[in-house]
Amino acid sequence: MAIYRYALPHLGNELFACYTGMETDLIFNKNIPLPGFAAYPLLNNKQHRVLLENYYRSLILIAKQHNVGVILDSVTWVANADRATELGYSIEELAEFNKNAIKLIHSVREQENYWPTVLCGQVGPRGDGYIQDKPMSIFEARDYHRVQMAAYAETEVDFVCAFTLGNAQEAAGIVLAAKAFELPVAISFTVETDGRLPTGMSLQKAVEYVDKHTQASALYYLVNCAHPDHMLQSFNYEPWVKRVRGVVANASRCSHEELESALELDDGAPTELAEQLSQLRHSYPHFNVFGGCCGTDQRHMNAIMAATKV
């Protein structure tokens, strides 16, 4: 087993909260436009920076209330070269955004007296993870995502997690890119309503593919940006499931296509969502990372932590 110089308490058995639904909450509930779905430009605005800090503090407060750990994910899901270029940012500016995003969550952790808190550098797909508009080979993905990893390697980040991935080749490339900088990395796939990745590959095959092509270098796997109804059929009791640690779920049962075209936020039913995730944890007791993705807010997170900690 690898020995890391980073704090990774969530690799134990204790429950950890993970929230990646900030962008939809900002857009629909806070009326803050996010061109390209990018939240990291908010770091340049003092008022917006305080707003981001408050999201993190609220999540830590929920974790304290339920006596669980917390993962703080940086606002850098789309902070990669292609998407930054579309917004007019240079590679140098992009690197600073990635570094400053980690500085922000690091400062929040320090202010909160180091409650069991893990700092995560968030990575996303190069293109649209739902329609696979920029497919890459493993080594193309490795080289592409090295830029973001290089920035994270200069920070106090504890680990990196790539969210909402729909392609196993890109996932494997991200693992190799992180490995080149000795950064611990986790992979979170997304699935469609049929429980399969947007490429049509099963979740099981995706996990097994990435492990095969990276010597099982990923810390673990997750599923995010999908409703529990869509992913339940993906899990079974075969050995690969032991590599999965949890679920960061959408509030809505809508497909990705429906969500992307929606003009109003579908925030689902927080209590029902929490109960479904609780059932998942009972079925797979080794799952210990749970939380909310698109359409979720503090109500959902509070309900999820209350239900899954039992």
Cβ contact 189:203 at 8 Å = yes
**Other residues' Cβ atoms within 10 Å of the Cβ of residue 131:** 12
Q: Residue 18 half-sphere exposure, CB side, CA atoms within 13 Å?
A: 29
Is 293 known to sit in a ligand binding site? Answer: yes
d(CA 104, CA 50): 10
The secondary structure of the chain in percent helix, strand, coil, rounded to multiples of 5, reads 50, 15, 35
Which tokens hold the place of 271?
């209590």
What amino acid is encoded at 64 in this protein?
A: K
- The structure tokens listed for 204 are 């099981």
How many CB atoms are closer than 10 A to CB 153?
17
Q: Strand runs (DSSP E) across 217-263, as ranges?
A: 221-224, 244-249
Contact status, residue 251 vs residue 266, Cβ threshold 8 Å = yes
Tokens encoding 98: 């990635």
Side-chain-side CA neighbours of 50 within 13 Å: the count stands at 2
Length of the chain: 310
Contacts of 53 (CB under 8 A, 6+ apart): 104, 107, 108
Asked whether the beta carbons of 152 and 120 are under 8 A apart, the reply is no
Cα separation, 6 vs 25, in Å, equals: 30
Give SS3 for 21: coil
Residue list for the binding site: 225, 293-294
Residue ranges of the binding site for Zn(2+): 225, 293-294
